[in-house]
Structure 1
């Protein structure tokens, strides 16, 4: 774990405070990573199938491998930061993401396809949500919650900005040229940002996430081991439901264009992606304004059920306005499924254990969630359409909502002061 430092905290409310530049850097990292390595995968699936004749299950399998590797390695994020430093880890992530996109541009064999997606998984290691939360936490104490929320918003903007621009580039220049251009822009924008703003650990990282009068450091040595977490019922009532929900969510995102194009056409399918991701931004900001008034578990259950309802509507209709509205409802909770687990973890575990609990929870839920694209690809190939696949996603989300909404099963391990 990263050791805490005992220094006085600067004024985090000042716009000139260097930590806000770190937040902007993390925002841009999330924008490029989620735009090209998550939302963009729907484009890769369609274009690689068209160019090379590969079946959806083969391409989805590569996507699943990428998510699987990245989420397994996320368990050790704190060790990576300790050994490499935050800046070096982020730079390696940028290089891996850009290289994966360049390799996809010229992929004509299966080994090239899988090598590209393995590189993409390394991009997730260096730029993913656990790294972003860790980097921001090094700079912020009293405003840590707001800072992390703003940094994560870049993930939603990735779908609103990066993915539609990539679709436009593919239509104008072809898939190969579009991917090479996107890779070059990624390097040109992110490398200077990381060099300038992802600096050494700030003294602002020392301190607590709750009452400033307390002295519990959020990144101090954890007071709970990974082995003990595995035996904790409270831990599993966080990790398991979000894992099931992510299976459905990631599957729909990756297959969204392929699923909707036969129903509403390519342009409307692209519009649906933009609407979904725009609504994820609205959902994240809306959640930030009201979540402190509610139990985050109940908020999570409502969010997951709303996604299940949206998928049911999409399964039952081919009407463009209704499908677009359903994608908007689905998108409203996309960002919430990333934001809510840290809020629950902060509430139910000590601040000192936050990075370990979040890293392990992210690894487990993300690993299970990574199975989604491949699973849905197999079901789609078996049934010749997406109806059965959507039904599976709906059932998984309903089960997830039922588990996460059962506070009676919890073992409360910390007071709300550790929530930041």
Structure 2
């Protein structure tokens, strides 16, 4: 492996980034599938939108909750083992989905098992890879890996929506399982845990060093890290803004845009195409955000991101009633800002709490994100059943984004590092 790396002239960390990108892409694509399945399940099984939304809500919550513990597992057992185990569990869960006949089975397979499995391959994985393999260009790497979620939608949603409409939702599940098997083989062959495994130094340095062994308790260490982080106002502000971030993205738009389009007679495949278009522009926006986070005040970046997202969500009810052209405008504008908030948030967390703790701390911040997403996913479904429209949830999300923008500016710019939580394993 060392000879191959040296002769190719390519830093192996970029290979790891590519494999991680594919893994996160697949995980995000599968997590977005329930928005396509909502209408078919409503028709075939007679389940209410609120009931289906409750399953999605639980999956989103567990997807976030597992993050801090995922960071500990990645440190303890290595990236390769954890990803292989997660992909295997996810494949089993999806393989059983076509056999289900009751809502509680959907709850177990997608709400619990799929939520936990994809949570092991969430943003914490990208943060761990960037921190272990890179010193230089770390923000860019975080941006690229975060953008993989958008690319997952870009590739999966139109394809899966078309398969669902043409030959049935079960075949879209089979296609997802096949994709998991392909990525699983790639991870098994080429994934590496640390630069030391290939005799390299982290990108931007010259010294080859062994990885620091994780010596703490896999369950207690993340909780101790959380307890220490809770003493910092920066943690609460980052967690608060990320709560509103989740509320206004995957919880609301990612879950309910396709059903909302259906309320206005817009075909499911076209609505999935709009989400995919958002994914395309978010790929650009989030990668650019990573580049910007290496160069500008991350608090101000978050202010603009949340403020512009709030404006786009206030515009959405009008866009839905005005037709495809206005929805196209919304998709481009909103897409550029979909998850551009992640790189600045990661940078602020790393600066406040240190590289060693960044994975776990960011994992807890993501928990807040997914709680917000879970509230929106379930709440919007219930409100839609009650009022017959999604206007109120969309407008509410716009207002909370404005609040998040103000909170971002309250994060201290020159906070001392003296209050950092203890290093993992202590």
- Measured against the shorter chain, the TM-score band is 0.7 to 0.9
For residues 75-128 of structure 1, the C-alpha deviation after alignment (integer angstroms, 9 at most, x for no partner) is 212322244432221112112322333333333201211011111112223311
- Aligned match of 2:42: 49
Q: Name the Cα RMSD after superposition.
A: 3.1
For residues 192-235 of structure 1, the C-alpha deviation after alignment (integer angstroms, 9 at most, x for no partner) is 1110122343318997898879x9x9998999932121121011
- Aligned match of 2:309: 307
SS at match of 2:66: helix
- Aligned match of 1:6: none
The alignment's TM-score, normalised by the length of structure 1, stands at 0.86
Q: Choose from 290, 304, 328 the match for 2:292.
A: 290
Cα 1:33/1:184, change in 2 over 3 Å: same
Whether the 8 Å contact between 2:29 and 2:157 is mirrored in structure 1 is: yes
Whether the 8 Å contact between 1:29 and 1:127 is mirrored in structure 2 is: yes
- Counterpart Cα distance in 1 of 2:253 and 2:201: 40
- Aligned match of 1:241: 241
For residues 3-23 of structure 1, the C-alpha deviation after alignment (integer angstroms, 9 at most, x for no partner) is xxxxxxx999x7533222211
SS at match of 1:127: coil
- Aligned match of 2:422: none
- Aligned match of 2:66: 73
For residues 24-72 of structure 1, the C-alpha deviation after alignment (integer angstroms, 9 at most, x for no partner) is 11111111111111x3221022221122111111111111111212222
Instruction: Give the count of matched residue pairs.
Output: 404
- Counterpart Cα distance in 1 of 2:409 and 2:206: 31
Unaligned runs of 5+ in 2: 419-426
- Counterpart Cα distance in 1 of 2:201 and 2:234: 26
Whether the 8 Å contact between 1:57 and 1:374 is mirrored in structure 2 is: yes
The answer as to 2:332 corresponding to 1:339 is: no
Aligned residue runs from structure 1 range 232-381, under 5 A: 232-250=232-250, 251-263=252-264, 265-266=266-267, 267-317=269-319, 318-319=321-322, 320-381=324-385
- Aligned match of 1:404: 408
Cα 1:194/1:209, change in 2 over 3 Å: closer
- Counterpart Cα distance in 1 of 2:400 and 2:351: 25
The alignment's TM-score, normalised by the length of structure 2, stands at 0.85
Whether the 8 Å contact between 1:142 and 1:212 is mirrored in structure 2 is: no
Whether the 8 Å contact between 2:63 and 2:120 is mirrored in structure 1 is: no
- Counterpart Cα distance in 2 of 1:363 and 1:207: 32
After TM superposition, where is structure 1 displaced by more than 4 Å over at least 4 residues in a row? 204-213, 217-224
Unaligned runs of 5+ in 1: 1-9, 415-420
